[in-house]
């Protein structure tokens, strides 16, 4: 979000996250912005005011909340760990109440919106209304904003400046595919599973077990899935035997001529979704995942292992989507 807003001409003052792994990446790539490692549940608004030397009621202030979203996602995982972060939007309110920024942006998974009866979104709407904000919100697909993914997200844009407010308009007749972003024609040399070098491009791949290497080798190029080896007794996975219609994307290859699936925090793993390279016998690389998230190649990720880097990339708001949001905020601010 910081990168996209910065590229749209908005001065980014700081990013707040309680994940220490993000600090080096953030500070190396977001010019002029501070990284504040803190849990917003315990960070006070007066403390933030002092640290950033900002004042309440500044109409040019923008607060963007992109809290962890696993609790509201469709991914069928144990929600126990993510439950503690499910209601961070309520803690976000204290900063809006104190600073009364000109604009507020919320980006999250669509489950936050579709499960309104369980989430705190209705209470957040009441809070915005009581504090003089008008807003527009809804479900958007990042592919309509220049991101080569079917990445469905909930987006809210609010203002207290008495202006008509709307979501960024989607592009019309935009057709972008995996082929437009990765592959040898886009500067990605062919590499095997388990590849790592010292290049800042970070075109690095996770290793594959011998069995998974056999599986991807017999998976058809550009969109093949595990149905191609369902009758191979040595390759079939017991949990999927006779259940070929569930989790069809797991162990699948991306299509060259379609948008990618949502880039998750496990995109570097062949067994965690349709993250197989369209042609090569491996999962997509760290840089390929970052590129499909629309990070520029000069953006270098810092971390101690490949899983940590994948988590940073998958958790991020695609910069191109954030850029579209930033451009729209500029347009709203200039409107009469």
Helices (H) then strands (E): counts for the chain: 10, 6
Helix axis angle, 121-130 to 88-99, nearest 10°: 10
69 classed as catalytic: yes
Burial of 53 (0-12, 13-18, 19+ CB in 10 A): exposed
Which residues touch 166 (CB under 8 Å, ≥6 apart)? 136, 157, 328, 332
- Distance (Å, rounded) from C-alpha 133 to C-alpha 59? 12
Nearest residue to 67 (alpha-carbon basis) of 134, 119, 138: 119
DSSP-based three-state secondary structure for 292: helix
Residue in 22, 41, 66, 69 annotated catalytic: 69
The closest alpha carbon to 251, from 280, 268, 276, 231, belongs to: 276
Containing 323, the helix (H) or strand (E) segment is: helix 319-334
- 37 — phi, psi (to 5°)? -85, 110
Q: How far apart are CA 21 and CA 102, in angstroms?
A: 31
Please report the sign of the dihedral spanned by the C-alpha atoms of residue 12, residue 17, residue 23, residue 26: negative
Helix 45-52 to helix 88-99 angle, to the nearest 10 degrees?
60
Using only C-alpha atoms, the chain has a radius of gyration, in whole angstroms, of: 21
CA gap 199, 192 in Å, rounded? 16
Q: Are 106 and 156 in contact (CB under 8 A)?
A: yes
**Burial of residue 203 (number of CB atoms within 10 Å: 0-12, 13-18, 19+):** buried
Q: Which amino acids are annotated catalytic?
A: 69
């Amino acid at each position: 979000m910081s990168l996209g807003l910065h590229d749209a001409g908005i001065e980014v003052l700081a990013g707040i996250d309680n994940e220490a792994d993000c600090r080096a990446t953030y500070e190396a790539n977001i010019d002029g912005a501070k990284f504040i490692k803190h849990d917003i549940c315990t960070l006070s608004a007066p403390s933030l005011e002092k640290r950033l030397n900002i004042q309440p009621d500044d109409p040019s202030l923008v607060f963007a909340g992109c809290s962890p979203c696993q609790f509201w996602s469709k991914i069928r995982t144990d929600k126990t760990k993510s439950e503690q972060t499910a209601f961070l939007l309520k803690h976000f309110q204290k900063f809006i109440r104190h600073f009364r920024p000109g604009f507020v942006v919320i980006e999250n998974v669509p489950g936050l919106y579709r499960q309104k009866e369980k989430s705190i979104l209705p209470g957040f709407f009441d809070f915005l209304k009581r504090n003089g904000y008008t807003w527009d919100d809804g479900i958007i697909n990042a592919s309509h904003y220049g991101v080569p993914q079917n990445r469905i997200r909930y987006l809210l844009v609010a203002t207290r400046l008495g202006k008509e407010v709307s979501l960024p308009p989607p592009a019309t007749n935009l057709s972008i595919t995996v082929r437009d972003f990765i592959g040898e024609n886009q500067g990605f040399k062919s590499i095997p599973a388990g590849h790592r070098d010292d290049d800042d491009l970070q075109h690095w791949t996770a290793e594959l077990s011998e069995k998974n290497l056999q599986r991807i080798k017999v998976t058809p190029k550009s969109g093949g899935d595990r149905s191609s080896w369902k009758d191979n007794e040595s390759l079939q996975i017991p949990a999927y035997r006779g259940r070929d219609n569930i989790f069809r994307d797991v162990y699948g290859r991306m299509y060259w001529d379609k948008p990618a699936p949502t880039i998750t925090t496990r995109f570097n793993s062949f067994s965690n979704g349709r993250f197989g390279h369209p042609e090569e016998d491996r999962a997509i690389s760290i840089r390929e995942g970052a590129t499909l998230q629309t990070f520029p190649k000069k953006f270098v990720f810092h971390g101690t292992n490949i899983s940590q880097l994948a988590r940073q990339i998958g958790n991020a708001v695609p910069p191109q989507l954030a850029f579209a949001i930033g451009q729209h905020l500029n347009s709203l601010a200039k409107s009469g």
